[in-house]
């Protein structure tokens, strides 16, 4: 059962500091309301994975790895490869992260990232079919949260995108339902580049890319994932607060603009 979370361990005084600053139009780390933290993205940091990307978003650190393996297709999509996204909140990332089966937060994060990639048709899954109804390629995207300083969804979405862009798989040809590997390596059939942007409402103000302290006192958050053409392909509201329709429209517009800038930054990493 999904239950109300325990209150955050942030001291009351610190919560007050965050709130007081927001009321003055300032933020705890000196950013403006619509400023993103510095983003660093490194591709191919794990050689044994088909693709990998390490993202630093301020002090948040996320590593995503892509593995491509042969599997059986879903009955309703016999001619398409499979995409699965999973997220691990590794215990070393935060004092209250515990090992064990994924909780609702990591499931939500993985599903929001999955929705962005799937709905924007980022990967041409039709090109990942070996033997219709029997054998297809399965793309596993595993997101590893290594250090939690807020806004995990955006960092995870960009790490997953980076890992997919950087991924190389063995070139193959299909002969009579059998897969024959060649010596060359080819990139995944990418055709879109979704980027999630998360904004939160905090004491009536809207700020983008919340750090951990801001997340812990926020009223609610809204993630808007935009594709390369500026179309929105996924959204998710979270948290116990509420938005007005006007706030939502404002966030949609600002997210569409912000994602353009970040997408260019990620794509500039691949040649």
Check if the beta carbon of residue 33 is closer than 8 Å to that of residue 25.
yes
Q: Least CB distance from residue 223 to other proteins, whole Å?
A: 10
Q: Is 189 helix (H, G, I), strand (E, B) or coil?
A: coil
Phi, then psi, of 10 in degrees rounded to 5: -70, 135
Check if the beta carbon of residue 170 is closer than 8 Å to that of residue 182.
yes
Q: Is 234 in the site for other proteins (CB under 8 A)?
A: yes
Q: Mask 114-153, x = binds other proteins (CB under 8 A)?
A: -x--xxx---------------------------------
Q: What is the dihedral of CA 162, 163, 165, 167, to 10 degrees?
A: 160
Q: Least CB distance from residue 239 to other proteins, whole Å?
A: 6
Q: Is 189 in the site for other proteins (CB under 8 A)?
A: no
Please identify, using beta-carbon distances, which residue of 31 and 228 lies nearer to other proteins: 228
Closest CA to 67 of 144, 120, 131: 144
Q: Is 185 in the site for other proteins (CB under 8 A)?
A: no
Q: Which residue from 239, 265, 267, 269 is in contact with other proteins, where contact means CB under 8 A?
A: 239
Question: Strand pairing partners for 145?
Answer: 62, 89
Take residue 194 and report the two structure tokens written for it: 């979704």
Interacting residues with other proteins between 69 and 108 (CB under 8 A) = 102, 104, 107-108
Q: Which residues bind other proteins (CB under 8 A)?
A: 1-4, 6-7, 102, 104, 107-108, 110-111, 115, 118-120, 220, 222, 227, 230-245, 248-249, 252-253, 256
């Amino acid at each position: 059962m999904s239950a109300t979370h325990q209150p955050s361990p942030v001291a009351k005084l610190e919560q007050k500091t965050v709130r007081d600053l927001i009321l003055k139009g300032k933020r705890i780390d000196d950013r403006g309301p619509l400023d993103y933290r510095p983003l660093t993205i490194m591709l191919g940091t794990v050689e044994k994975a088909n693709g990998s990307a390490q993202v630093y978003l301020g002090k948040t650190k996320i590593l995503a790895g892509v593995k491509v393996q042969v599997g059986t297709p879903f009955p309703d999509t016999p001619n398409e490869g499979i995409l699965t996204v999973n997220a691990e909140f590794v215990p070393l990332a935060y004092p209250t992260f515990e090992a064990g089966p994924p909780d609702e937060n990591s499931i939500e994060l993985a599903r929001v990232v999955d929705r962005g990639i799937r709905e924007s048709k980022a990967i041409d899954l039709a090109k990942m079919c070996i033997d219709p109804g029997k054998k297809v390629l399965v793309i596993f995207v595993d997101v590893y949260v290594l250090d939690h300083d807020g806004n995990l969804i955006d960092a995870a979405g960009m790490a997953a995108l980076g890992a997919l862009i950087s991924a190389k798989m063995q070139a193959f040809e299909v002969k009579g339902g059998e897969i024959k590997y060649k010596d060359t390596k080819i990139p995944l059939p990418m055709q879109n580049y979704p980027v999630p942007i998360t904004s939160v409402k905090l004491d009536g103000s809207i700020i983008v890319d919340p750090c951990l302290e801001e997340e812990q006192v926020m009223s609610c958050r809204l993630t808007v994932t935009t594709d390369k053409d500026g179309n929105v392909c996924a959204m998710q509201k979270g948290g116990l607060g509420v938005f007005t329709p006007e706030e939502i429209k404002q966030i949609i517009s600002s997210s569409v603009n912000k994602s353009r800038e970040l997408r260019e930054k990620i794509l500039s990493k691949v040649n």
